[in-house]
A and B are shown apart, each in its own frame.
Chain A
Amino acid sequence: DVKVTQSSRYLVKRTGEKVFLECVQDMDHENMFWYRQDPGLGLRLIYFSYDVKMKEKGDIPEGYSVSREKKERFSLILESASTNQTSMYLCASSFEGPYEQYFGPGTRLTVT
């Protein structure tokens, strides 16, 4: 079975803190994705990566950055967390090409 794991299920941070969300997949997938999920808005793509050290902006990249130094790991970084970044963050991965994405369980981040 494909496993996509995220470093924390719940996280509480203060405004202005630097926040790292980690995602690891064990299926040698080329592509990895970060989404945020908010009530009434569904899932929105923040960033994705199609290879090590390669990244592309999604639909809502403002306030976020990403890092992919190894194929299996994709990090989402909030340089200076703000209250409007309180959300559920979901990571996903897939093979290159027309293949389905596999999602992790999500990290519920609260910024106070």
Chain B
Amino acid sequence: DAKTTQPPSMDCAEGRAANLPCNHSTISGNEYVYWYRQIHSQGPQYIIHGLKNNETNEMASLIITEDRKSSTLILPHATLRDTAVYYCIVRTLTTSGTYKYIFGTGTRLKVLA
């Protein structure tokens, strides 16, 4: 199964862009990259996902390298409420045809006032 590697922690100034890197060098061609975040005492919340192309939604942008071995989640204007643990996840297919997530250990992002 593909694994992801993330830095354990990062700081970002409020109003600045937060760039969270992730390595997934063993990812297979049909495995998607997902990003979730978890605010203290809550369940993880979906942010964005992608396969090959860069993606953008109202929360964030996802940049995936051409070789698909790494990606970066970008929060364009970080606020204090973005302080959370961010998980980079590879979605893989099981033998039963169900999609399952393989979580990394996450990056604890602290947004500073």
Q: Does more than half of chain A's interface fall in helix, strand or loop, or is it mixed? A: strand
Q: Is A100 interfacial (CB-CB < 8 Å)?
A: yes
Question: For chain B, which range describes its interface: under 10, 10 to 19, 20 to 34, or 35 or more residues?
Answer: 20 to 34
* A56–B49 touching, CB < 8 Å: no
Q: Output the nearest chain B residue to A104 by Cβ-Cβ distance.
A: B43
Number of A-B residue pairs having CB atoms within 8 Å of each other in the complex:
57
Complex: A43 Cα to B43 Cα, angstroms: 11
A residues within 8 A CB of B28? none
Q: Output the nearest chain A residue to B42 by Cβ-Cβ distance.
A: A105
Interchain residue pairs with CB less than 8 A apart (22): A4-B43, A31-B99, A33-B100, A42-B103, A42-B104, A42-B106, A43-B44, A43-B87, A45-B100, A45-B102, A48-B100, A50-B97, A50-B98, A54-B96, A56-B95, A58-B100, A98-B91, A98-B99, A100-B46, A101-B101, A104-B43, A106-B41
A residues within 8 A CB of B99? 31, 94, 97-98
Question: For chain A, which range describes its interface: under 10, 10 to 19, 20 to 34, or 35 or more residues?
Answer: 20 to 34
Q: Output the nearest chain A residue to B44 by Cβ-Cβ distance.
A: A103
* B43–A92 touching, CB < 8 Å: yes
A residues within 8 A CB of B43? 4, 90, 92, 103-106
Most chain B CB neighbours (cut-off 10 Å) among A41, A45, A100? A100
Given contacts A31-B99, A44-B103, 18 further A-B contacts (CB under 8 A): A35-B103, A42-B105, A42-B106, A43-B103, A50-B96, A50-B97, A50-B98, A54-B96, A56-B96, A56-B98, A98-B99, A100-B34, A103-B44, A104-B43, A105-B41, A105-B42, A106-B41, A106-B43
